Amino acid sequence: TPNFGPIGIVDNNRVMFYRDNIRHKPMKNNKFLKFLFRYKIAIIIAIVLSIISYFNPVDYSDKYDMATNEINTLANKIDELQSKHEIDDISSEITKLEEVNDNLNNGIDEKSVELEKLSEEREAKLKAENEAKLKEEQEAKIKAEEAKIKASEEAKIKEEEEAKAKEKAKAEEKNKSEQQVEENRQSKSNNSYNVNNYRYNNKQNNVNHNNYQSTTVYITPTGQKYHRIPKCGNTKSSTPISVEEAQQRGYNPCKKCF
């Protein structure tokens, strides 16, 4: 139902739709649109009054239709301006956001590559450390086993050497005891033999001495030696005499014939 006011018939739904449409659409950096938005009611009223004063005041139906058409035309123009401005702003914002998104994606890609590289380096480092640690543990284990085997072998060798030394000492002690017994026995035997031999030798010496003293030797008138043979010194004459007598006279034995 048309609303007849002081300025004529107005479509409330159209005006409210226009107001809501203007109110909820953002306007950025456009002074003209801000001006229209701020003074939209006054502008609409002025336009309506102009239209009413231009036509016959009695013909409200025609005036209403004309005013409505003007309002619709103005609203459409404002919508077009706002839409164009908003589209440009939105396009610009979209472009900026796309650039930001591209930059972020590039940054994410770079960080992903760096992260992957760091992860690979970390894994390689951990792998190298684990391998080095495992190798060190294996080497330490091998060295410990070798040291254990070496110590066991050395202990066995030492034990064998000690056993050999004990056996050797025991054998030497036994040999020494046997040798001592043999030496004692030999000493007793030698003493007995020496006593008997001494007695025999002494007896023989006495016999030999007696025989030697009674042996006949030869002396010369001019010489100082006695000889076993008469002509040892190419002497022409010699006198037989006993050794004892020759010694008593001061003669010495001849080195050639004695």
Model pLDDT for residues 76-124, shown as the tens digit of each residue: 776 666 666 666 666 777 788 788 878 888 888 888 888 889 999 999 9
Phi, psi of 227 (to 5 degrees): -120, 155
pLDDT in tens, 128-168: 999 999 999 999 999 999 999 999 889 899 989 898 888 88
Q: What is the pLDDT of residues 117-130, one digit of tens each?
A: 999 999 999 999 99
Instruction: Return d(Cα 113, Cα 111) in angstroms, integer.
Output: 5
Kind and range of the H or E run holding 100: helix 60-213
The partner residues of 218 in beta bridges, in order of sequence, read: 227, 240
Percent of the chain with pLDDT over 70: 55
pLDDT in tens, 4-25: 443 333 444 444 444 444 444 4
